């Protein structure tokens, strides 16, 4: 092994390049190390799941040839959406560059000002997307039998498995398009994240993006469209407030930022920490699932959903810390993404 000379009688072994990459991504955070290990642990379980995945899909198609089962070709809509959203994002970065640099608070200068203006545009892009996604998701399911009053509907989440695996969707003709567009967005997020400069939240976001893409893709192909809609829909509103807050937090509009922060805390607690585990996970993964034996790979899919719940709790703790710092200093600080370090 190559060595670096320290003195006459002292040497230090150099780290391998892959070690340097991993350490630069994980940094000194124990939580990032935990997320990295969780990411690695899922690979051995994905292999057997993928091995028989297509066979199960073909079996479902053969069981009911007249049913319009999801096809692999449908995923092209997600691919088109991914490409279009990437083009929109980079177009916004080009067209709004001078505007974003003007509205950034004057205390940020030099490279940090440029970094924060770029993140402002990214957050604005996400705010617009999640506004569209939440409205579209509600419009698709507002009269459905599965959207409960707690989510603005008149149905019940306990009905999410009705007629599975051959669920009728003719009454809600755009539900599959909604799911595929959402898949395209999350694929876009995954790609942009991979090719972006690693930040202190790299591993947790890699874990989130990769598992979301896996979950949505596999659930769609297994025709779990109602469950997919509910899971995605319960995330959209809180994501909207998160991105809106990140759009405003580096500007002069501190009071408006605090209002949107309160919106995060309310929608996140209600949608992600109440509805998601106690309604959706209860019926999807636990005793409330009447067709658990029919759902292929329920174990690995449920495990991924539980990891997402862990991330939700972890991020909510960071949001609480952000609120305390905001109240104490009067200045919003993103405790998840340390942009000042990225600007160095």
DSSP per residue, 87-99: HHHHHHHHHSHHH
Range name among 150-159, 241-250, 326-335 with the lowest pLDDT average: 326-335
Q: What is the CB neighbour count within 10 angstroms for residue 234?
A: 22
pLDDT score for 15:
47
Cα separation, 79 vs 93, in Å, equals 21
336, pLDDT greater than 80: no
- Mean of the per-residue pLDDT values of the chain: 85
14, pLDDT greater than 60: no
Q: Angle, nearest 10°, between helix axes 254-267 and 298-329?
A: 150
Range name among 61-75, 186-200, 222-236, 241-255 with the lowest pLDDT average: 186-200
The band of 1, judged by pLDDT with boundaries at 50, 70 and 90, is: very low
269, pLDDT greater than 70: yes
pLDDT score for 23:
59
More confident residue, 178 or 205: 178
Condensed to tens digits (0 to 9), the pLDDT of residues 90-107 reads 999 999 998 998 888 888
What the block records as the tokens of 252 is 């002069």
Q: Are 178 and 219 in contact (CB under 8 A)?
A: no
Cα separation, 322 vs 327, in Å, equals 9
182, pLDDT greater than 80: yes
CA 251 to chain centre: 25
223, pLDDT greater than 80: yes
The band of 201, judged by pLDDT with boundaries at 50, 70 and 90, is: confident
pLDDT score for 140:
94
Provide CB contacts within 8 A for 63, sequence distance 6+.
none
Record the pTM: 0.86
Give the 3-state secondary structure percentages of the chain, helix then strand then coil, rounded to 5. 70, 0, 25
What the block records as the tokens of 7 is 């003195």
pLDDT score for 267:
97
Cα separation, 146 vs 149, in Å, equals 10
Cα separation, 237 vs 147, in Å, equals 15
| pLDDT above 90 as % of the chain | 51
Q: Are 203 and 237 in contact (CB under 8 A)?
A: no
DSSP 254: H
What the block records as the tokens of 63 is 């069981």
What the block records as the tokens of 257 is 């930022």
Q: Are 38 and 307 in contact (CB under 8 A)?
A: yes
The band of 134, judged by pLDDT with boundaries at 50, 70 and 90, is: very high
Once rounded to an integer, what is the mean pLDDT over residues 200-215?
85
Q: What angle do CA 287, 312, 116 make, to 5 degrees?
A: 160
């Amino acid at each position: 092994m190559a060595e670096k000379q320290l003195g006459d009688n002292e040497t230090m072994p150099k780290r391998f390049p892959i070690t340097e990459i991993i350490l630069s991504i994980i940094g000194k955070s124990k939580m990032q190390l935990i997320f990295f290990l969780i990411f690695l642990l899922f690979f051995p379980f994905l292999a057997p799941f993928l091995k028989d995945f297509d066979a199960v899909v073909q079996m479902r198609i053969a069981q009911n040839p007249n049913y319009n089962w999801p096809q692999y070709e449908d995923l092209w809509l997600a691919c088109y959406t991914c490409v279009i959203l990437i083009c929109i994002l980079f177009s916004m970065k080009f067209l709004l560059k001078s505007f974003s640099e003007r509205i950034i608070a004057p205390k940020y200068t030099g490279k940090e000002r440029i970094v924060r203006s770029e993140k402002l545009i990214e957050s604005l892009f996400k705010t617009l997307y999640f506004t569209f996604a939440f409205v579209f998701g509600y419009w698709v399911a507002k009269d459905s039998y599965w959207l409960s009053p707690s989510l603005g509907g008149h149905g019940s989440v306990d009905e999410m498995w009705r007629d599975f695996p051959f669920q009728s969707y003719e009454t809600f003709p755009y539900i599959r398009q909604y799911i595929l567009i959402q898949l395209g967005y999350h694929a876009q997020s995954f790609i942009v994240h991979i090719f972006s400069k690693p930040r202190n939240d790299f591993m947790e976001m890699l874990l989130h993006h990769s598992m979301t893409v896996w979950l949505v893709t596999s659930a769609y192909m297994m025709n779990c469209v109602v469950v997919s809609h509910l899971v995605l829909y319960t995330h959209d509103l809180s994501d909207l407030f998160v991105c809106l807050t990140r759009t405003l937090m580096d500007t002069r509009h501190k009071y408006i930022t605090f209002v949107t922060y309160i919106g995060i805390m309310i929608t996140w607690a209600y949608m992600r920490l109440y509805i998601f585990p106690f309604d959706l996970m209860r019926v999807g993964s636990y005793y409330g699932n009447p067709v658990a034996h029919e759902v292929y790979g329920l174990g690995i899919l449920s495990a991924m959903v539980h990891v997402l719940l862990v991330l939700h709790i972890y991020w909510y703790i960071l949001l609480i810390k952000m609120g305390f710092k905001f109240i104490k200093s009067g200045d919003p600080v993103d405790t998840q993404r340390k942009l000042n370090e990225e600007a160095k």
